[in-house]
Amino acid sequence: LGPLPPANSLGASNCMLRRPSSHIACLFLGCFTRSGLAFSSPTRLLQPSGAQLFRSPSLLRPAGFLQRGLRGGAFNMAAQGGEVGTEPPKDPSGDTIFGKIIRKEIPAKVVYEDDKCMAFHDVAPQAPVHILVIPKQAISQMSKAKEQIGDSPESKELLGHLMMVAADVGREHAPKGFRLVINDGKQGCQSVYHIHIHVLGGRQLTWPPG
């Protein structure tokens, strides 16, 4: 078959998902760039972030590949930039991983903290700079903020404070420019139902983002 081409040399037009056989071709040719996934060997699937490495012979079988890829696994993770949106919890006041970080039950690389909020590095960064800013008060979604914490000046001050802190963090860690992102709901790609502002920077970002 000759040497494999570089992982970034094949475009989506070289490898379309039309037949199961094309999945096998993708695996052996070494790349499927349209989904954001890069295949470096027939049994190796590496997500763009490099956070996870899967090794499984079942990837060589069309059924196994489709099952892993199209059922909200590898494809969706890559398409959504490492985060997969989930349905809101039935109990919006329930505990989350961010609550555990606030209580210091789970370690985090904290870059800022005051009595109202905290900022720390994302464990699965999507850019050289990827920091999360969260309120210490539990608020599940931005769209539910008025319902959960009210419409008082204090509530508005808290939300404004989050934005000001995010701007300070962005200026400090990404002085050439940054992006602030708040995911809301499943289609907004929210996976942790505790409001958090993504501060992304450290490289040239593109548009549109999603």
Which active-site residues does the annotation give?
A: 196
37 has which bridge partners? Answer: 32
Written in H, E and C, the secondary structure of 7-49 is CCCCCHHHCCCCCHHHHHHHHHHCEECCCCEEEEECCEEECCC
Please list, in sequence order, all residues whose beta carbon lies within 8 angstroms of the beta carbon of residue 43, skipping any fewer than 6 positions away. Answer: 55, 56, 57, 59, 60
Beta-ladder partners of 31: 38
Q: What are phi and psi of 117, to 5 degrees?
A: -155, 175
Q: Going by C-beta distance under 8 Å and a sequence separation of 6 or more, which residues neighbour residue 116?
A: 135, 136, 137, 158, 161, 162
